[in-house]
Amino acid sequence: MSDSIGVAVIGAGMAGKAHMAAWRNAPSLFAPTLPPVRLVSIGDVYEPLAAEAAQRFGYARHDTDWRAIAEADDIDVVSVVVANTLHREIVEGLLAAGKHVLCEKPLSDSLEDARAMATAATEASQRGLVARVGFTYRRAPGLAAIKQLVEDGTLGRVLHFSGRYWTDYGSSPDVPFSWRFAGAPGTGALADVGSHLAYVAEFLAGEVQSVNGGLFTTAITKRPIAAGFALRGQAVPLTGEFADVENDDYATFNARFGDGSVVGSLEVSRVATAHPNGLVVEVFCENGAARWDQERASEIGLALQSDGSRLGGYRQVVLGPDHPYVAGGMAMDAPGVGWGQNQMFEYQARAFLDEVAGVADPLPANATFDDGVHNMEILDAVARSAAAGGAALDVPPVRTTEGAHA
């Protein structure tokens, strides 16, 4: 086990801050005790943001060039939380410099780059380096509990899946243009929140075999241009000029899972007013059904066929120590305490540190870069389906060039 682990985060925006807090809090979760974790640097090209974040979250310094982090001898682990187009250069550079890397999803903005990153990760693993992609919702206790109920036979075989991820960060036409609104069809709402929904669907229903019925729409076709640096959700002066939105505000598609007998429908949006973070999934199974809602993350809905029609319907199950990630994973690991998405980042960081440190009883490992490629192959197939009027298209299976994962 290492004497200590130095960590850094590249990207000081909203998701970057979740990573910063996660590295800080992860050592206090679960047993065994980790070696000391040193909070070393926050990297961002916008120095005022990097400096403020480093001070706020207790990191020793800040940098404005990712190369400084790659070259630093006191940094071992790095989160990459920047625009998707920048992932490949930074991740490959960090791996070449001997860093362990946790990259935000989606792995990149193109399949070519994602596959190259997966190859680099495989080569780096032969030098003892860990490269993982952040499929954060795999750490949601409610979703993990539903997966257990499927696998232990309580719910039994999945018959079909339904999921939607509605957000409203782009619902106003006054929201300024940013990198999120640039790129080919499929790089908008589908890549942003659809990437989450796709791996959640596979987590519960099995690997996606094929997709069909792909449909995109761009509801707001022009965005004002900000005058200077703009953080998501913050007011900023505008130039008076506009830029064309290049990708999708809304996407929907159907999928076949496993051997093809399990089907599902998936829908995502960034223009769903009044739904700031509306991830909701349901699985319908031989012995019942289960439901999880991000806005009620401390519970699941459970319906069992054995209850019969007189007592049938969803019951509320409040999550607690008998469910995944709760016991030992929270300072107050008691029923009904509640938690949310921030804790999922902490569980994700703890699993990464477990793997890097080589602890004896680690949490389930994070997703591999090969999983990240497969996730993007699903999104690519949806984009091609939409371009072909909803055609059915196969999705390649996950390649397994790296070790097993949870």
Q: How far is CA 157 from CA 308, 335, 369, in A?
A: 19, 28, 28
Question: How far from 363 is each of 87, 105, 210, 283, CA to CA, in Å?
Answer: 26, 20, 31, 25
The one-character DSSP state at 273 is T
Residue 285, pLDDT > 90, answer yes
- Is 141 a residue whose pLDDT tops 50? yes
**404 pLDDT above the threshold of 50:** no
Instruction: List domains and CATH numbers for the chain.
Output: 5-136 (3.40.50.720), 141-339+376-385 (3.30.360.10)
Mean pLDDT of 258-276: 97
Provide the edge-to-edge strand list for the sheet that holds 278-285. Answer: 315-318, 299-304, 288-293, 278-285, 158-166, 262-269, 250-257, 208-217, 393-394
Report pLDDT for 406.
Answer: 47
The alpha-helical segments, DSSP class H, found in 305-395 are 308-311, 341-357, 369-387
- Residue range 83-98, pLDDT digits in tens: 999 999 999 999 999 9
- Distance in angstroms (rounded) separating the CA atoms of residues 381 and 397: 13
Least reliable range by pLDDT among 47-51, 231-235, 294-298: 231-235
CA–CA gap between residue 250 and residue 67 (Å, rounded): 36
pLDDT for residue 231: 65
Residue 38: the pLDDT is 98
User: Buried (b) or exposed (e) across 298-331, using 16+ Cβ within 10 A?
Assistant: bbbbbbbeeeeeeeeeeeebebeeebbbbeebbe
Question: pTM for this one?
Answer: 0.93
* Mean pLDDT, all residues of the chain: 94
pLDDT > 90? residue 128: yes
2: pLDDT strictly greater than 80: no
Q: Which pLDDT band holds residue 332 (cuts at 50, 70, 90)?
A: confident
Asked if residue 104 has pLDDT above 60, the reply is yes
pLDDT at position 154 = 98
pLDDT at 370: 97
* Top-ranked range on mean pLDDT: pick from 178-182, 311-315, 397-401: 178-182
DSSP sequence for 149-195: HHHTSSS-SEEEEEEEEE--TT-STTSPP-GGG-SSTTSSHIIIIIH
CB 273 within 8 A of CB 168: yes
pLDDT of residue 376: 97
Predicted confidence (pLDDT) per residue in 338-379, tens digit: 788 899 999 999 999 999 999 999 999 999 999 999 999 999
The alpha-carbon radius of gyration of the chain (Å, integer) is: 21
